[in-house]
Amino acid sequence: MENHKPIDILNYIKRINYFPNVYITYRIMLTILVLVVFTKRSFLKLKIIKNYLRSTMSQERLNGLVLLSIEKKISNEINYDNLINNFA
């Protein structure tokens, strides 16, 4: 028995054109598999980077990053026009 690649099977289903729903379903299934693998790979890379950063980051830098994050959240919530009008 020959080993067929998934793309060969997909092309064959498209070529015979008897079952259009099978073609669509198979195409979706192949797309989902690629997306799952890509997502897993991305999370693995992110995990490696986070572990590296945790092991090399000093407490002072970590505190600075936390402050930047908090200040960004606060600055997004501030209405600067009202603040300027109240101050003036």
Distance CA 12, CA 17 (A): 9
Instruction: Mention every residue, 6+ apart, whose C-beta is less than 8 A from residue 23.
Output: 10, 13, 14
Residue 81: pLDDT band by 50, 70, 90 thresholds? confident
Q: What is the pLDDT of residues 13-67, one digit of tens each?
A: 888 887 888 888 888 887 777 667 777 777 778 787 777 777 776 777 777 877 7
Of the candidates 24, 26, 25, 21, the residue with the CA atom closest to the CA atom of residue 9: 26
